[in-house]
Chain A
């Protein structure tokens, strides 16, 4: 519920920093992202890098599902395309990272457009099923193109070399991934201040009305698929360099469901949603593992049970958020700010 958000000009609507405090908070976050890595150990650094990759992939899904309203259960597989493009180009043909990264983005975007074609005829439920089918088919194709992808045995790729430095330690990886993640989030924030982004939102609200108002549905829906998949491609490319060992199973349907879950938990159609969601889905298994570590002395099977319990908690979180807080953590975040804003006149 938006109350008291009356804006009288486009400029007011386009403002990124709605409050000075926002700007301060952002600066604080960036500063801590710069300093923190030197304090925390390699394990937490690894989690941070993984978080960065997840944020990119989920931000792409956010553009597609959150802003344009095209529900996709295929983001995991698109990330797989990006990862495999990078891996094949880097190991098979010796491409350097500055070439594989953009190429992965472009190729994933093109394939995304291909699988986005059904979105021109169908919406909602049918599109969900179509993207689900696309996910299964893509993973199957990766598995079957053995001469290219090495099938189920997977690919190992060499660490990326940037400016003569081999990116191997967790700290180096972090300082490649984190700025890129920030850049991609910033791009998605700015996208919705442009004509294209506004067209996306119009399509989400009601695609017929959007068409009547002069928005070319074919073009913009496919653009949304292209951008969403491009994000997945970028995330995949980083994933390849980050995890170094790829197998097709990493990109199956459960990965896509995880991304969609993160988006719902974080809040669809908001810039910060993907960030909140990614933090959440990474923290849940970590917390559980920590708890399991604590109780293992008393109950030796605890560690074994974490995987299914993680699944259960993801599921329950999605259900809980959908029923009680459909706009996700972002809505809670906004509510907190509103409270601070209007204090002491808040209820």
Chain B
């Protein structure tokens, strides 16, 4: 075993985690594209979804069913939660300043986290992993299989969403809404419907990311804070570019792993924020984002 192998191993783990970050980020990007709101509570919704999964897995176990049943149940309920939040909190603020909408999502963090602690307490829970936590070897580098399959699922979902976005009617509706709300409305596109749908899809993808991620560690209400470090991903990717998000997610995942390797675990947590600050100062529109033309 030599140092280089460790680095390769950590890089692989980082890239695989980055894939799951991409899955988390894609929800935020979709919501931003459609509604121009960055959902700060995305990570918190993901956390709640993972708790849904945890509860359903216990319930399903008692009923004697395969625990795979709990996955669609959790996805569905989280999707409904997303839709509900959009309808109740975001819809009344349509047309108001973006600041109000952002602050509502910030406030949502407290509300959802408080509710989670009330319902599930803040003790760590251990939801079942979808795949065995065993280690396999790719050439000589050890890779966690849960992470590997998570990466594969995340990536294929990412591709699926891209296909939907660019090749289907729903995707066209979303892109039309993104480029000009008023015109989209007048062309007969159901804009509020698009909003509700993006929030639902975002919540579902977030929930899936949480399900894939939680077994690697443990599940606590602070899992939601991961959503804030994923802000680094979407800012680096340029907020509205899917390809940019994917590349940024892999990059951030890898950078995190490397900071963890060379500087220790503490620095890993703060690294995304340093990246964010640098990007905002140097290149606010990210790697692939569209430069917004500001009008007076």
Q: Mark A110-129, 1 if CB is under 8 A from B, else 0.
A: 00000001100110111011
Supply 11 further A-B pairs (C-beta < 8 A) apart from A117-B281, A311-B113: A126-B235, A253-B228, A261-B107, A309-B114, A311-B114, A312-B114, A312-B115, A314-B107, A315-B110, A315-B111, A318-B104
Q: How large is the interface on A (under 10, 10 to 19, 20 to 34, 35 or more residues)?
A: 35 or more
Q: Which residues of B have CB within 8 Å of A257? A: 106, 109-110
CB within 8 Å of A: which B255-296 residues: 266, 269-270, 273-274, 276-277, 280-281, 284, 294, 296
Q: Which residues of A have CB within 8 Å of B108? A: 315, 319
Contact of B102 among A125, A209, A319 (CB under 8 A): A125
Contact of A318 among B107, B235, B266 (CB under 8 A): B107
User: How close is A273's CB to chain B, nearest CB, in angstroms?
Assistant: 15
* Contact A130-B276, Cβ < 8 Å, known A121-B284, A326-B100: yes
Q: How far is the CA of A83 from the CA of B155 in the complex (A)?
A: 46
Q: Which residues of A have CB within 8 Å of B109? A: 257, 315
CB within 8 Å of A: which B92-114 residues: 92-93, 96, 98-100, 102-104, 106-114
Q: Which residues of B have CB within 8 Å of A124? A: 98-99
* Contact A129-B280, Cβ < 8 Å, known A136-B270, A322-B93, A323-B93: yes
Let me know if B270 and A129 touch, CB within 8 A.
Answer: no
Q: Which residues of A have CB within 8 Å of B110? A: 254, 257, 311-312, 314-315, 318
User: How close is B73's CB to chain A, nearest CB, in angstroms?
Assistant: 25
The answer to whether A308 has its CB under 8 Å from any CB of chain B is: yes
Let me know if A319 and B111 touch, CB within 8 A.
Answer: yes
* Contact A129-B231, Cβ < 8 Å, known A118-B281, A318-B104: yes
User: How close is B121's CB to chain A, nearest CB, in angstroms?
Assistant: 9
Let me know if A264 and B103 touch, CB within 8 A.
Answer: yes
Q: Which residues of A have CB within 8 Å of B93? A: 322-323
Instruction: Enumerate chain B interface residues (CB-CB to A < 8 A).
Output: 38, 89, 92-93, 96, 98-100, 102-104, 106-115, 117-118, 228, 231, 235, 266, 269-270, 273-274, 276-277, 280-281, 284, 294, 296
Let me know if B277 and A318 touch, CB within 8 A.
Answer: no
The answer to whether A132 has its CB under 8 Å from any CB of chain B is: yes
* Contact A140-B92, Cβ < 8 Å, known A118-B277, A125-B38, A315-B111: no
A-B contact pairs, 6 of them (CB 8 A): A129-B280, A305-B118, A318-B103, A318-B107, A319-B107, A323-B93
| Closest partner residue, chain A, to B110 (CB atom) | A315
The answer to whether A134 has its CB under 8 Å from any CB of chain B is: yes
User: How close is A44's CB to chain B, nearest CB, in angstroms?
Assistant: 26
* Contact A125-B284, Cβ < 8 Å, known A208-B296, A312-B114, A318-B106: no
Q: Which residues of A have CB within 8 Å of B273? A: 132-133, 136-137, 140
Let me know if B280 and A315 touch, CB within 8 A.
Answer: no
Residue of B92, B273, B284, B296 most packed against chain A (CB within 10 A): B273
Contact of B277 among A125, A130, A260, A305 (CB under 8 A): A130
Let me know if A137 and B274 touch, CB within 8 A.
Answer: yes
